[in-house]
Amino acid sequence: MDMAIKTFNLTKKYGTKIGCAEICLRVPRGQIFGFLGPNGAGKSTLVKMLVGLLFPTSGKALLLDRPLGDTGVRARIGFLPENFRYHDWLTGQQLLEFHASLYGLSGTEKKRRVGEVLELVGLAGRERQKIHTYSKGMRQRAGLACALLPDPDLLFLDEPTSALDPIGRRDVREILVSLRASGKTIFLNSHLLSEVELICDAVAFIRQGKIIRQGSLEDLQTGDITVEMKVGNLTREMVNTLSSLARSLEVRENVLMARVKREEDIPRLAEAVVTGGGDLFEMNRKRSTLEEMFIRTTGGGEEIC
């Protein structure tokens, strides 16, 4: 598979402190890739290295098959940082024209792209307003518009929906999905795991500066099976039996959440309830959510590269 991003033991140290260590990532072209981890895990450090704002201490990386720092590749990359600040005294139009000039766009090309991205992010008709009059959501849209100006092949987004309301988040999701459909690659940092789960093809988890797990969402979610059961006449003996059959068991009054390893374990849970004298009112297999996976993964596990 053709890769948009490949890193080889990429490491950044700040004196004796490690920002991230021996990062090995593979991001296929034409995908939305989620990069997940707790605060301070090293997510921003890695992104800053990839976009050229930080120099790695060691290791190397290829973006669109070119090494870090390649000027030709930089022209094909868009970047929206998390805590961006733009010139409040400019209008939205002036801001985009300024950034278009920084990207080397001029004349009719600049005019065309500015108009296209204003329409795309939903700011058409607001471009003559000063930035300081924009709401947080509008500023977020303006930042996304700036990142999209060069029509990038590779787009780095750090918390792109953090300031948006549900409608705004839906709009951004639709934009990102349309960009993927056109062959773009999107590298997405986000704490909104429900958003990541809706649109990402693959994810990587980082903890304490190291990648601990990565892969497609489909593959990562084919691990343990969570089964929710609503049970009447629940007894301590029945709970003990179910605990012996499950990898973990959580009991909330008459609702039980059991994690099992195999499909064959599911009917055994039902049999244990019935033979134990319980009433099985409901039983549902639940897919492991990204939030559950995030908590399990970043809370422990072996570091891998």
Name the pairing type of β-strands 77-80 and 66-67: unpaired
Task: Give the pLDDT score at 240.
Answer: 93
Q: In whole angstroms, how far apart are CA 197 and each of 74, 148, 191, 224, 259?
A: 29, 23, 11, 18, 21
Does 140 share its domain with 238?
Answer: no
In a domain, 192, yes or no: yes
- 265-281: average pLDDT: 92
Interatomic CA distance for residues 108 and 202, integer angstroms: 38
Interatomic CA distance for residues 190 and 37, integer angstroms: 9
Q: What is the pLDDT of residues 90-121, one digit of tens each?
A: 999 999 999 999 988 888 999 999 999 999 98
Dump strand ranges (E) for 149-274. Answer: 154-158, 185-189, 202-207, 210-216, 225-232, 248-252, 255-260
Does 42 share its domain with 131?
Answer: yes
In a domain, 29, yes or no: yes
As for how many domains the chain has, the answer is 2
pTM equals 0.76
- What is the domain range of residue 238? 225-287
Give me the percent of the chain exceeding a pLDDT of 70.
Answer: 95
Q: What CATH number is associated with residue 267?
A: 3.30.70.980
Residue 61 class from Cβ within 10 Å (0-12 exposed, 13-18 middle, 19+ buried)? buried
Task: Give the pLDDT score at 215.
Answer: 83
Does 13 share its domain with 111?
Answer: yes
In a domain, 173, yes or no: yes
Q: What CATH number is associated with residue 89?
A: 3.40.50.300
Does 139 share its domain with 269?
Answer: no
Q: What is the pLDDT of residues 200-217, one digit of tens each?
A: 999 999 888 899 888 887
Per-residue exposure over 85-122, b if at least 16 CB sit within 10 Å of its own CB, e if not:
ebeeebbbbbbbbebbeebebeeeebeebbeebbebbb
Per-residue exposure over 137-158, b if at least 16 CB sit within 10 Å of its own CB, e if not:
bbbbbbbbbbbbbbbbbbbbbb
Does 101 share its domain with 233?
Answer: no
